[in-house]
Amino acid sequence: MFIKRYLLLLIITLPLFSGVKYLSLNQAIEILKKDNLELKISRFTEQMSAYEAEATKALNYGKLDLTVTGMRSNDAGNVFGFKLQSREANFGDFGFSDFLGPLGGAMQGQPLDPNALLSTQPDDLNYPGSRNHFLTKISYMLPLYTGGKLTEYQHITESLHRMSQYNTTKLLNAKIYQVKKAYYDISLVDNYIANLSKIMKNITKLEAIIHSMKTEGYAQDIDLLEVEARRAETQSMYNQAKLNRDLAYQFLSFLLNQNVSSIKKVNEMAKMPRVDLQALLSNNIDIQKALLGLEISKMAVEAEEGNFRPEVGAFGEYGSADDVFLNDFFDKDSYTVGVQAKWNLFNGGADKARLEKAKLNRLMVEDQVRLAKKGIELQVKKLRTEVLSADADVRSYRKQLDFAEKVYENYRARYKEGIVSISDVLIKQSKQLEVMLKLLTAKNKRNTKIFELDSILNRGGKV
């Protein structure tokens, strides 16, 4: 029973540990675009900048607020104001009851002291009873003219959203570069491992020859020890190559955010892209970002110039107040509308300083654009030259490797005939390993430069 449960658990969990097999480079790039965590984070940044642009655009439509206020007070000013707002004020609230007695007596012929009458402090006005007050109102404020600042701020936030999209595209190019490099590195290492396996087979053949010659008395124990030492050295190189391949698979799995067990091998030599300098200046992400930065700097100048222009806004308010919430709302309602114009005439020269700073920044960005164009063009030419140089190295090392292999075979045959020592044979084999490693390095260098060139040319996921 325990064994059955164990087998069932193993079958269920097996897919969790198995990775994608025989994954092609094009498939890997598509997975990268959807699942890479850094790209997902960058797209979140894009979305946030898009909402920021929408928030800035929304300012053009003004602001509508509903306000509900509930209060209770016995403050004389508050209570009198509450009654006025509720349209319930009467003469009694002014304290007229304190005047009617003296005035009535005066009408019946009693003497009236005007000074005493004027100095009377009406109790109804000064000591009112506590009163509730509920105020409900809707207010709307609309900017009519802001000197062009609001329009420029809207354009700036929209441009910043485009900038975030450029950042995502640049990050995508960088990740595609890393995926391509991982694929070509794995393919190169696989080829290197295969060549090391051939060399180890040759060492095994060499050991067989030594054993045969030793039987006939033509070889010594030292010969066998030298070959065994070479086998250990080659085995170490073989193990290190496998570890490097495993590390490349782990990095590829990290980029794709899923485990990759094996890939479809690619050609060891990446294809040299065609370079069109005119198209480069139009498509390169860094240049596009620089040009967009120049547009933003011009918008910033326009926004600062808006500080020297007046601002005009409109507002409207409608509401009702009473000592009971929403009581007789339309009988006690009121409205207020108005327009406000404001023009800053002097602030110590701060606006002037900010405007000059924005103008200087625009000039600086113009130079940065020119520098970016020249720098990218120079970088492309440098990379092309390095690729062509690596091509020459690859051709040279291939010929050297072919020659080294033939020399090794020749020396192995001569050793069998007793013409050369085992040390001579192993020296030639060392030369073969050295040239093989140089060829691997040259191919890797060439591919790296080509992938950098692809990234600069903004070729997207093209393989």
Question: Which domains occur in the chain, in start order?
Answer: 27-61+147-308+369-457 (1.20.1600.10)
Q: What is the 3-state secondary structure (H, E, C) of 218-243?
A: CCCHHHHHHHHHHHHHHHHHHHHHHH
| Cβ-based neighbour number of residue 180 at 10 Å | 23
Q: Classify residue 68 as left (phi > 0), alpha (psi -120 to 50) or beta.
A: beta
Residue 94 has pLDDT above 60, yes or no: yes
Q: Which of 126-140, 235-249, 269-283 has the highest mean pLDDT?
A: 235-249
Q: φ, ψ for residue 420 (rounded to 5)?
A: -120, 165
* Mean pLDDT, residues 193-198: 93
| Cβ-based neighbour number of residue 402 at 10 Å | 11
What does R_g of the chain's alpha carbons equal in angstroms?
43
Please give the order of strands across the beta sheet that includes 63-73. 63-73, 131-145, 311-322, 333-342
Structure tokens at 308: 């020297």
* Mean pLDDT, residues 8-12: 43
Residue 71: the pLDDT is 94
Contact status, residue 287 vs residue 122, Cβ threshold 8 Å: no
Q: Which of 243, 130, 203 is nearest to 425 (CA)?
A: 203
pTM of the prediction?
0.82
Q: Which residues are paired to 334 by β-bridges?
A: 319
What band does 177 get if pLDDT is binned at 50, 70 and 90?
very high
Contacts of 364 (CB under 8 A, 6+ apart): none
* b/e code 91-113 from CB counts within 10 Å (16+ = b): eebebeeeeeebeeeeeeeeeee
What angle (nearest 5°) sits at the alpha carbon of residue 34, between those of residues 33 and 39? Answer: 65
Residue 166 has pLDDT above 50, yes or no: yes
Q: What is the helix (H) or strand (E) element at residue 407, kind and residue range?
A: helix 350-416
Alpha-carbon torsion (187, 191, 192, 193), positive or negative: positive
The more confidently predicted of residues 63 and 274 is 63
Residue 74 has pLDDT above 80, yes or no: yes
User: Coil, strand or helix: which one is 109?
Assistant: coil
Cα(433)–Cα(412) distance, integer angstroms: 15
Structure tokens at 147: 């000197």
Residue 124 has pLDDT above 70, yes or no: no
Residue 29 has pLDDT above 90, yes or no: yes
Residue 98: the pLDDT is 61
Contact status, residue 125 vs residue 92, Cβ threshold 8 Å: no
**Angle of helix 221-256 relative to helix 149-215, nearest 10 degrees?**
160
Residue 95: the pLDDT is 65
Contact status, residue 199 vs residue 233, Cβ threshold 8 Å: no
Amino acid identity, position 133: H
Q: What is the mean pLDDT of the chain?
A: 88
362-402, pLDDT tens digit by residue?
999 999 999 999 999 999 999 999 999 999 999 999 999 99
Residue 3 has pLDDT above 50, yes or no: no
Residue 58 has pLDDT above 90, yes or no: yes
Residue 76 has pLDDT above 90, yes or no: no
The more confidently predicted of residues 98 and 230 is 230
Residue 12 has pLDDT above 70, yes or no: no
Structure tokens at 181: 């490099």
Residue 13: the pLDDT is 43
Residue 193: the pLDDT is 95
Q: Which of 55-59, 96-100, 208-212 has the highest mean pLDDT?
A: 55-59
Residue 11: the pLDDT is 41
Amino acid identity, position 279: A
284-313, pLDDT tens digit by residue?
999 999 999 999 999 999 999 999 999 999
Return the DSSP state at 261: -
Structure tokens at 329: 């709302």
Residue 16: the pLDDT is 41
